Structure 1
Amino acid sequence: MSSEYFIVLGVLGVAFFAVSGALLGHDKNINGFGIVVVGVMTALGGGTLRDLLLGKPIFWVETSEYLIATYSAIFATVLFVRYMPSPSNFYFILIDTIGLAIFNVIGIEKALISGTGMIVALTMGMTTGIFGGLMRDVVCREVPYVMRGDVYASACFAGGLSYAALFALDIPYIWCILGSIFVTVLLRTASLHWGVKVDLFRKRTPRSKKKCNADL
């Protein structure tokens, strides 16, 4: 991916996540500079951790466009909320999902450019996509999406696998990117629509208890 496309994709990603952070901050009655803190944390947290793990310069320190996009998105969200005091939760979910999908691709791309294998790249994609939102939810005293059993991290991973499959087939980068984003957004939104959860440790009712209930 050329550096120009990479920066454009990154700017879109931080903008979407900055908006999601500001919207959740508004929902939790955070005001003043706190909204900026939550928005910045959401937008830059995942990418910062990724760059530290990869031993690369922090992306928003190296290129100021990311900070400009972050602050602009927060400011635009504040104006939006002032004129639409009760935005639907749909806006938050959609924006957060798009940010997740974009950041996932950016993390994968940056890891591959750094010379890692695909499994490390997929992990870096998930780290980039999830960590900022995780920080946002913790600060706002919300149970993070990734901890709720929602199709969130799994949607991110599925999007990464889609990227890896298309990459292995030597498909042009743009289709790898679009395919990954499409799969992540589709799985996340579809799971919310149909109420699908990832329940790995579902408790089973003991047989003796089932028998007692049947006797009753």
Structure 2
Amino acid sequence: MQQLSVLIRIVFGAWIGLMAALPNFAAAANLTTPEAAVTAYIDGVIHQDFEAIIASTSADQMGKGFDFVAQVDRMRSLLPMMPAPASSPLFVEINKANFVAQIARQVQFLTYGLMTTSKILDGKTDMMDSAGAAEFASVVRTDRLGSLKLVEIGIPDPTSVNSKQHLVNSTKFARIYGAIASTDRVALVSFEGLHFLVGFNLLLYGDEWTVFSQSSAFGGTSSLGVPKRVTPAEFEQLLQ
């Protein structure tokens, strides 16, 4: 028994050492610019590292900083999907869980959009039988994400994004979530010989930018997080 106990301690110690040696994308993430946050997010997708993806998002900060009263006043209504008042640890954790679920769904649809042309990418029901489901499941494989490459990051419709009126409105929006500022970015990615546009909305907390949503209104991308098939020339046109 003593030998077994020693062996268990050795194996456990080796496992701890191995885990410590693995790349920690979350800890190493540089979030000092919107571009850095987008890069960290996409890097997490490429490495199939959900923890790293969430570490580049606003999950922790928005749950704590959400101004419930200000949001209701802004919308002039209380909406069913609105975050809860950040008035207790329970509500803060619920807000975080809901936000993480939103990001998870967007990453799911990012993957689907890269690998399929299913009707669900438009938010529609795609009727299929077991054979169709098996075929779909065989196509949407996360191991394929290793071929995803980040090509370029830019500001969509920069005249509008940087306009005085939008900066005022985006600052008001950011403050509702306890942030300093908000902005949009778009990323051009390549995947298995094709190019796609991925949109992002970001929030600034202190000196760190974080991804609030994998979608961009100025980039014309889906709120579901579906990537948009584009050419590099079309992407460059969006940045003008």
TM-score, reference length from structure 2: 0.25
| Structure with greater proportional helix content | 1
TM-score, reference length from structure 1: 0.27
